A = this chain, B = another copy of it.
Amino acid sequence: MTLSDLVARFQYQETLDSNSQLKTLVLLGTIDSEPAILSFEKTHFNISLDELESNKLPIISIKEIESNDVYHWGMNLLESNINTTPSSKINLIYPATETHIRKFNKPKFHVIVETPELYQSIVKPYIESMKGDRIKWVKNILYEGAEADKVIYKNDKFILIPDMKWDGVTLDNLYCCCIVYRDDISSIRDLNINHLQYLQDISNDLKKIIPEKYPIKANDLRIFVHYQPSYYHFHIHIVNVNYSGLGESILAGKAILLQEVIDNLRFLGEKGYSQKTMTYVMNENHKLWELGMNKCV
């Protein structure tokens, strides 16, 4: 059956998501009694430089709404064509499973307060269970030359690679990842006053090296760590400070600026981050949520 045939048989049940900022719409329904998810996303403007420079905007008509001083606004109709200027992208998942449907449900984040005691009793054992084979891919990058073609820079302290969310080229959303050559730091919980100079050296290196490799200034780099991180081998995120399209990843409650970590170490004393109460945001599908963090709010 073609996509057209399938869509024609779609029976609407409910709207899973509708985002007026991103112009996306996700519908749940059935096709021949089986679950189907039908998603739409409006296309971006596709006006060539040729059209622009010859002042041939593909506008069919304009309906003026209001005009006030130098401000004029209205709605318009643009030329459209299924091949070059379609209205929207369309995606169909059919038959859709329960997992597909759950994925489209909005993320369920919650704020949790992790005391040093909860860290010791729940989080630390979990972290230990997430090492070994779970981070073999990290070890492969560090010690076995995996993804060697992607390495931006390497010294005796760390290896710098483009994050998989970055194309390695577009400066606007520059996103690099710095993985350290130390196996004894699983997360910031393991940091204390003895790591202060070590972290400051890495920070200085990053602010020197990245601007040498890409046309960006040191003070245009947002350098941070995550708690909880997605894997438990200490690593640092570096993104273009003007890029904010990363969702929870760079929000207060998940991201902590490296320089703030360094400065906090001055005050946290010998025990460092292990004695701090950490307040952060966790998705309820994180394994730690069910392991007991759902109770510590």
Asked if A91 meets B62 with Cβ closer than 8 Å, knowing A244-B247, A257-B252, A259-B113, the reply is no
B64-A111 in contact (CB<8A): no
Q: Taking the complex as formed, is A43 at the interface, i.e. its CB lies under 8 A from any CB of chain B?
A: yes
- Contact check: which of B3, B42, B111, B259 meets A62 at CB < 8 Å? B3
B88-A78 in contact (CB<8A): yes
The stretch that binds B, out of A18-26, A135-143, A175-183, is A18-26
**A109 contact set on B, CB distance < 8 A:** 220, 241-242
State which residues 1-58 of A face B: CB under 8 Å.
Answer: 2-4, 6-7, 10-12, 15, 18-23, 25, 27, 40, 42-45, 47, 52-53, 55, 57
- Contact check: which of B96, B252, B267 meets A252 at CB < 8 Å? B252
Q: Closest chain B residue to A24 by CB distance?
A: B45
Q: Taking the complex as formed, is A123 at the interface, i.e. its CB lies under 8 A from any CB of chain B?
A: no
A3-B61 in contact (CB<8A): no
**A4 contact set on B, CB distance < 8 A:** 61-62, 64
A45-B18 in contact (CB<8A): yes
Q: Taking the complex as formed, is A218 at the interface, i.e. its CB lies under 8 A from any CB of chain B?
A: yes
**A268 contact set on B, CB distance < 8 A:** 267
**A94 contact set on B, CB distance < 8 A:** 70, 72
**A280 contact set on B, CB distance < 8 A:** 257
The stretch that binds B, out of A79-87, A144-152, A154-162, is A79-87
- Contact check: which of B12, B219, B251, B277 meets A251 at CB < 8 Å? B251
B73-A92 in contact (CB<8A): yes
Q: Closest chain B residue to A296 by CB distance?
A: B219
Asked if A73 meets B57 with Cβ closer than 8 Å, knowing A23-B44, A219-B111, the reply is no
- Contact check: which of B12, B87, B220 meets A78 at CB < 8 Å? B87
**A71 contact set on B, CB distance < 8 A:** 91-93
Query: How far, in whole Å, are A96 and B71 apart by their CA atoms in the complex?
Result: 9
A91-B73 in contact (CB<8A): yes
Q: Taking the complex as formed, is A253 at the interface, i.e. its CB lies under 8 A from any CB of chain B?
A: yes
B247-A224 in contact (CB<8A): no
B241-A111 in contact (CB<8A): yes
Q: Closest chain B residue to A260 by CB distance?
A: B279
Asked if A82 meets B72 with Cβ closer than 8 Å, knowing A111-B221, A224-B252, the reply is no
Q: Taking the complex as formed, is A59 at the interface, i.e. its CB lies under 8 A from any CB of chain B?
A: yes
Q: Taking the complex as formed, is A76 at the interface, i.e. its CB lies under 8 A from any CB of chain B?
A: yes
Q: Taking the complex as formed, is A108 at the interface, i.e. its CB lies under 8 A from any CB of chain B?
A: yes
6 more CB-based (< 8 A) A-B contacts, given A22-B23, A72-B92, A76-B89: A10-B57, A40-B76, A62-B90, A109-B220, A218-B297, A263-B277
